[in-house]
Structure 1
Amino acid sequence: MNVLLDTHIFLWHILNDAKLPTAYRLTIQNPSNRVYLSAASVWEAVIKYQMGKLPLPAPPAIYLPLQRDAHGIAALPIDEGAMVHLANLPALHRDPFDRLLVAQALQHGLTIATVDQAVIAYPVSVLPSV
Protein backbone atom coordinates (compact mmCIF):
# COMPACT_ATOMS: atom_id res chain seq x y z
CA MET A 1 0.00 0.00 0.00
CA ASN A 2 1.18 3.54 -0.74
CA VAL A 3 0.26 5.93 2.08
CA LEU A 4 0.51 9.70 2.42
CA LEU A 5 0.62 10.89 6.02
CA ASP A 6 -1.33 13.96 7.02
CA THR A 7 0.89 16.32 9.02
CA HIS A 8 -0.69 15.51 12.39
CA ILE A 9 -0.36 11.76 11.78
CA PHE A 10 3.35 12.12 11.03
CA LEU A 11 3.87 14.27 14.13
CA TRP A 12 1.95 11.83 16.32
CA HIS A 13 4.05 8.99 14.93
CA ILE A 14 7.47 10.55 15.45
CA LEU A 15 6.52 11.91 18.88
CA ASN A 16 4.98 8.56 19.92
CA ASP A 17 1.71 10.31 20.76
CA ALA A 18 -1.08 8.10 22.13
CA LYS A 19 -3.54 9.85 19.77
CA LEU A 20 -2.09 7.93 16.82
CA PRO A 21 -4.50 5.09 15.99
CA THR A 22 -2.86 1.69 16.37
CA ALA A 23 -3.92 0.77 12.83
CA TYR A 24 -1.97 3.77 11.51
CA ARG A 25 1.13 2.92 13.54
CA LEU A 26 1.06 -0.65 12.22
CA THR A 27 0.60 0.57 8.63
CA ILE A 28 3.48 3.03 8.92
CA GLN A 29 5.78 0.40 10.43
CA ASN A 30 4.86 -2.33 7.94
CA PRO A 31 7.87 -2.68 5.61
CA SER A 32 5.65 -3.79 2.72
CA ASN A 33 4.00 -0.34 2.67
CA ARG A 34 5.51 2.73 1.03
CA VAL A 35 4.86 5.70 3.31
CA TYR A 36 5.25 9.34 2.23
CA LEU A 37 5.44 12.75 3.85
CA SER A 38 4.67 15.70 1.61
CA ALA A 39 6.89 18.75 1.47
CA ALA A 40 3.61 20.59 2.19
CA SER A 41 3.57 19.03 5.67
CA VAL A 42 7.06 20.29 6.44
CA TRP A 43 6.07 23.72 5.10
CA GLU A 44 2.95 23.70 7.32
CA ALA A 45 4.99 22.67 10.37
CA VAL A 46 7.57 25.41 9.76
CA ILE A 47 4.82 28.05 9.70
CA LYS A 48 3.10 26.70 12.83
CA TYR A 49 6.44 26.43 14.63
CA GLN A 50 7.31 30.05 13.76
CA MET A 51 3.90 31.18 15.06
CA GLY A 52 4.51 29.36 18.35
CA LYS A 53 1.68 26.87 17.71
CA LEU A 54 3.85 23.78 17.26
CA PRO A 55 6.40 22.96 19.95
CA LEU A 56 9.15 20.69 18.66
CA PRO A 57 12.53 19.70 20.13
CA ALA A 58 14.35 21.38 17.21
CA PRO A 59 13.48 23.65 14.26
CA PRO A 60 11.18 21.71 11.88
CA ALA A 61 13.11 22.42 8.67
CA ILE A 62 15.91 20.28 10.12
CA TYR A 63 14.11 18.07 12.65
CA LEU A 64 11.28 16.78 10.44
CA PRO A 65 13.41 15.57 7.51
CA LEU A 66 15.74 13.84 9.98
CA GLN A 67 12.77 12.14 11.65
CA ARG A 68 11.24 11.26 8.29
CA ASP A 69 14.47 9.52 7.27
CA ALA A 70 14.88 7.84 10.68
CA HIS A 71 11.38 6.35 10.37
CA GLY A 72 11.87 5.16 6.79
CA ILE A 73 9.32 7.57 5.35
CA ALA A 74 9.85 8.88 1.82
CA ALA A 75 9.72 12.55 0.85
CA LEU A 76 6.99 13.59 -1.57
CA PRO A 77 7.88 16.81 -3.40
CA ILE A 78 5.26 19.20 -4.72
CA ASP A 79 5.08 19.55 -8.48
CA GLU A 80 2.76 21.10 -11.04
CA GLY A 81 0.94 17.83 -11.65
CA ALA A 82 -0.85 18.24 -8.31
CA MET A 83 -2.25 21.60 -9.43
CA VAL A 84 -4.64 20.00 -11.92
CA HIS A 85 -6.19 17.98 -9.11
CA LEU A 86 -6.08 20.94 -6.72
CA ALA A 87 -7.98 23.13 -9.20
CA ASN A 88 -10.73 20.52 -9.47
CA LEU A 89 -11.28 19.94 -5.74
CA PRO A 90 -14.61 21.00 -4.28
CA ALA A 91 -14.42 23.67 -1.57
CA LEU A 92 -14.88 21.26 1.34
CA HIS A 93 -11.83 22.39 3.31
CA ARG A 94 -10.30 25.82 3.75
CA ASP A 95 -6.84 24.63 4.83
CA PRO A 96 -4.55 24.99 1.79
CA PHE A 97 -2.07 22.41 3.12
CA ASP A 98 -4.74 19.74 3.49
CA ARG A 99 -6.16 20.55 0.07
CA LEU A 100 -2.67 20.12 -1.40
CA LEU A 101 -2.27 16.76 0.36
CA VAL A 102 -5.56 15.59 -1.16
CA ALA A 103 -4.40 16.76 -4.60
CA GLN A 104 -1.10 14.92 -4.21
CA ALA A 105 -2.88 11.75 -3.08
CA LEU A 106 -5.07 11.92 -6.18
CA GLN A 107 -2.09 12.66 -8.43
CA HIS A 108 -0.02 9.74 -7.16
CA GLY A 109 -2.79 7.26 -6.29
CA LEU A 110 -1.98 7.39 -2.57
CA THR A 111 -4.15 6.57 0.42
CA ILE A 112 -4.22 9.34 3.03
CA ALA A 113 -3.74 8.58 6.72
CA THR A 114 -5.73 11.26 8.56
CA VAL A 115 -8.36 11.76 11.22
CA ASP A 116 -9.35 15.15 9.79
CA GLN A 117 -13.04 14.83 8.88
CA ALA A 118 -12.78 17.62 6.30
CA VAL A 119 -10.07 15.68 4.43
CA ILE A 120 -12.03 12.45 4.73
CA ALA A 121 -14.98 14.20 3.01
CA TYR A 122 -12.99 14.44 -0.24
CA PRO A 123 -13.25 11.74 -2.93
CA VAL A 124 -9.86 10.28 -2.03
CA SER A 125 -8.75 6.97 -0.57
CA VAL A 126 -8.44 7.24 3.22
CA LEU A 127 -6.78 4.70 5.49
CA PRO A 128 -9.26 3.32 8.05
CA SER A 129 -8.21 4.25 11.59
CA VAL A 130 -9.54 1.03 13.15
Structure 2
Amino acid sequence: MDLLLDTHVFLWWDAGADPISPGVRAAIANPDNRVYVSAASVWEIAIKSSKGKLAFTGSPSAAVALNSFLPLAIDPVHAERAGGLEWSHPDPFDRMLVAQAQAQNLTLVHADGVIADYRGVAQMWARP
Protein backbone atom coordinates (compact mmCIF):
# COMPACT_ATOMS: atom_id res chain seq x y z
CA MET A 1 0.00 0.00 0.00
CA ASP A 2 1.20 3.51 -0.77
CA LEU A 3 0.40 6.07 1.94
CA LEU A 4 0.64 9.86 2.02
CA LEU A 5 0.77 11.26 5.54
CA ASP A 6 -1.12 14.44 6.35
CA THR A 7 1.02 17.02 8.14
CA HIS A 8 -0.56 16.31 11.54
CA VAL A 9 -0.05 12.57 11.18
CA PHE A 10 3.58 13.10 10.23
CA LEU A 11 4.09 15.38 13.25
CA TRP A 12 2.40 12.89 15.59
CA TRP A 13 4.49 10.02 14.23
CA ASP A 14 7.72 12.00 14.50
CA ALA A 15 6.92 12.99 18.10
CA GLY A 16 5.78 9.48 19.07
CA ALA A 17 2.42 10.97 20.06
CA ASP A 18 -0.62 8.87 20.89
CA PRO A 19 -3.35 10.20 18.60
CA ILE A 20 -2.57 7.62 15.88
CA SER A 21 -4.69 4.46 15.93
CA PRO A 22 -2.95 1.08 16.30
CA GLY A 23 -4.07 0.05 12.81
CA VAL A 24 -2.61 3.15 11.22
CA ARG A 25 0.59 2.77 13.25
CA ALA A 26 0.88 -0.77 11.91
CA ALA A 27 0.28 0.40 8.33
CA ILE A 28 2.93 3.11 8.62
CA ALA A 29 5.44 0.74 10.23
CA ASN A 30 4.80 -2.07 7.72
CA PRO A 31 7.94 -2.38 5.58
CA ASP A 32 5.81 -3.57 2.65
CA ASN A 33 4.11 -0.15 2.50
CA ARG A 34 5.62 2.94 0.95
CA VAL A 35 5.03 5.99 3.13
CA TYR A 36 5.32 9.47 1.64
CA VAL A 37 5.50 12.94 3.15
CA SER A 38 4.77 15.82 0.80
CA ALA A 39 6.98 18.83 0.28
CA ALA A 40 3.78 20.73 1.10
CA SER A 41 3.87 19.32 4.65
CA VAL A 42 7.53 20.25 5.07
CA TRP A 43 6.69 23.74 3.83
CA GLU A 44 3.69 24.01 6.17
CA ILE A 45 5.78 22.94 9.18
CA ALA A 46 8.53 25.42 8.28
CA ILE A 47 6.06 28.29 7.91
CA LYS A 48 4.21 27.54 11.15
CA SER A 49 7.48 27.04 13.05
CA SER A 50 8.89 30.35 11.82
CA LYS A 51 5.72 32.16 12.91
CA GLY A 52 5.75 30.55 16.36
CA LYS A 53 2.54 28.62 15.71
CA LEU A 54 4.26 25.24 15.95
CA ALA A 55 7.06 24.03 18.19
CA PHE A 56 9.15 21.86 15.88
CA THR A 57 12.84 21.55 16.58
CA GLY A 58 15.21 20.59 13.83
CA SER A 59 14.63 20.22 10.15
CA PRO A 60 11.30 18.82 8.90
CA SER A 61 12.98 17.50 5.75
CA ALA A 62 15.59 15.73 7.88
CA ALA A 63 12.76 14.24 9.97
CA VAL A 64 11.25 12.79 6.80
CA ALA A 65 14.52 10.98 6.10
CA LEU A 66 15.11 9.96 9.73
CA ASN A 67 11.70 8.28 9.79
CA SER A 68 12.53 6.46 6.53
CA PHE A 69 9.63 8.14 4.74
CA LEU A 70 9.78 8.99 1.07
CA PRO A 71 9.67 12.65 0.05
CA LEU A 72 6.97 13.60 -2.44
CA ALA A 73 7.79 16.66 -4.53
CA ILE A 74 5.13 19.02 -5.83
CA ASP A 75 4.99 18.93 -9.60
CA PRO A 76 2.94 20.93 -12.13
CA VAL A 77 0.27 18.20 -12.39
CA HIS A 78 -0.23 18.33 -8.61
CA ALA A 79 -0.46 22.12 -8.65
CA GLU A 80 -2.96 22.18 -11.48
CA ARG A 81 -5.08 19.48 -9.86
CA ALA A 82 -5.06 21.26 -6.48
CA GLY A 83 -6.23 24.46 -8.12
CA GLY A 84 -9.00 22.69 -9.99
CA LEU A 85 -10.50 20.64 -7.16
CA GLU A 86 -14.27 21.08 -6.97
CA TRP A 87 -14.09 21.24 -3.21
CA SER A 88 -14.28 24.14 -0.84
CA HIS A 89 -11.48 23.25 1.61
CA PRO A 90 -9.84 26.57 2.53
CA ASP A 91 -6.43 25.12 3.49
CA PRO A 92 -4.11 25.15 0.46
CA PHE A 93 -1.80 22.57 2.04
CA ASP A 94 -4.66 20.09 2.47
CA ARG A 95 -5.83 20.77 -1.07
CA MET A 96 -2.33 19.93 -2.30
CA LEU A 97 -2.22 16.70 -0.29
CA VAL A 98 -5.56 15.61 -1.76
CA ALA A 99 -4.38 16.47 -5.27
CA GLN A 100 -1.13 14.56 -4.79
CA ALA A 101 -2.93 11.52 -3.38
CA GLN A 102 -5.26 11.53 -6.38
CA ALA A 103 -2.53 12.01 -8.97
CA GLN A 104 -0.18 9.42 -7.48
CA ASN A 105 -2.89 6.92 -6.43
CA LEU A 106 -1.94 7.20 -2.75
CA THR A 107 -4.06 6.64 0.34
CA LEU A 108 -4.17 9.87 2.34
CA VAL A 109 -3.73 9.23 6.07
CA HIS A 110 -5.30 12.06 8.06
CA ALA A 111 -7.54 13.12 10.95
CA ASP A 112 -9.25 16.07 9.26
CA GLY A 113 -13.04 16.11 9.21
CA VAL A 114 -13.15 18.34 6.13
CA ILE A 115 -10.95 15.94 4.16
CA ALA A 116 -13.06 13.03 5.44
CA ASP A 117 -16.10 14.54 3.72
CA TYR A 118 -14.30 14.60 0.37
CA ARG A 119 -15.02 11.45 -1.61
CA GLY A 120 -12.54 11.90 -4.45
CA VAL A 121 -9.51 10.32 -2.76
CA ALA A 122 -8.59 7.06 -0.99
CA GLN A 123 -8.40 7.77 2.75
CA MET A 124 -7.37 6.23 6.04
CA TRP A 125 -8.57 7.83 9.29
CA ALA A 126 -5.61 8.20 11.64
CA ARG A 127 -7.22 8.61 15.04
CA PRO A 128 -8.48 5.75 17.20
Q: How far off is 1:91 after superposition?
A: 2.9
Q: Determine the structure 2 residue equivalent to 1:106.
A: 102
Question: Residue type of the partner of 2:45?
Answer: A
Q: Determine the structure 2 residue equivalent to 1:25.
A: 25
Q: Determine the structure 2 residue equivalent to 1:89.
A: 85
Say if 1:5 and 1:36, in contact at 8 Å, map to a contact too: yes
Q: 1:75 aligned to 2:71?
A: yes
% identical aligned pairs: 39
Q: Determine the structure 2 residue equivalent to 1:42.
A: 42
TM (norm. structure 2) is 0.92
Say if 2:111 and 2:125, in contact at 8 Å, map to a contact too: no
Q: Determine the structure 1 residue equivalent to 2:114.
A: 118
For residues 49 and 70 of structure 1, what CA distance do their matches in structure 2 show?
A: 19
Unaligned runs of 5+ in 1: none
Misfit runs of 4+, over 4 Å: none
TM (norm. structure 1) is 0.90
Unaligned runs of 5+ in 2: none
For residues 80 and 45 of structure 1, what CA distance do their matches in structure 2 show?
A: 22
Say if 1:23 and 1:128, in contact at 8 Å, map to a contact too: no
Which deviates more from structure 2 when the two are superposed, residues 117-126 or residues 28-37?
A: 117-126
Distance 1:56 1:87, change over 3 A: closer
For residues 124 and 3 of structure 2, what CA distance do their matches in structure 1 show?
A: 8
Question: Residue type of the partner of 1:103?
Answer: A
Q: Determine the structure 2 residue equivalent to 1:5.
A: 5
